[in-house]
């Protein structure tokens, strides 16, 4: 137990992960970071991406996160994400449909001022990350 840290990934709706792990890798806004037991405490914002962690059995696990914050303590990592889902919970068809919608909105944004291109880019990024995560296993 001394070599493990507690990982909690939560959204406003639910707890996605709450378990002991060996290592956590997360998409910080300034770059990916890793946390092992005994890490120096820090707080950071997250970008859309994938949190990877190795569970106590040695299996690497993956969770999609859509922004948020991470707090690292010597024995715990807490991720507060706008949305999150485990790799096995990603609906690939839904993600592909979201990608198509976002690409269409981006194309329309070139000629229409009433379409928020930044919002469409963010939606496209979320869809692509989810598709990549749910891809071949």
CA distances (Å), 72 to each of 36, 95, 96, 99, 133, in order? 9, 30, 33, 32, 24
Nearest to 68 by CA among 55, 82, 57: 82
Q: Give the pLDDT confidence score for residue 49 in this predicted structure.
A: 96
**What is residue 39's DSSP assignment?**
P
Strand, helix or coil at 66? coil
Per-residue pLDDT of the chain (137 residues; tens, 9 = 90+): 458 999 999 999 999 999 999 999 999 999 999 999 999 999 999 999 999 999 999 999 999 999 899 999 999 999 999 999 999 999 999 999 999 999 998 888 788 877 778 888 999 899 999 999 987 65
- DSSP secondary structure of 42-65: EEEEE-SEEEEEEETTS-EEEEEE
Residue ranges and CATH numbers for the domains of the chain are 5-87 (2.60.15.10), 90-134 (1.20.5.440)
The model carries a pTM of: 0.86
- pLDDT computed for residue 1 by the predictor: 46
pLDDT in tens, 43-82: 999 999 999 999 999 999 999 999 899 999 999 999 999 9
């Amino acid at each position: 137990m001394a070599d493990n840290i507690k990982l909690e990934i939560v959204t406003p709706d639910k707890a996605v992960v709450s378990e002991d792990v060996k290592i956590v890798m997360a998409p910080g806004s300034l770059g990916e970071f890793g946390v092992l037991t005994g890490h120096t405490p820090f707080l950071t914002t997250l970008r859309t991406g994938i949190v990877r962690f190795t569970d106590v059995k040695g299996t690497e696990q993956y969770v999609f996160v859509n922004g948020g914050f991470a707090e690292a303590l010597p024995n715990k990592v807490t991720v507060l994400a706008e949305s999150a889902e485990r790799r096995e919970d990603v609906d690939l068809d839904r993600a592909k449909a979201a990608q198509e919608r976002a690409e269409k909105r981006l194309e329309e944004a070139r000629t229409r001022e009433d379409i928020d291109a930044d919002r469409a880019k963010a939606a496209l990024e979320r869809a692509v990350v989810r598709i990549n995560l749910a891809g071949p296993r």
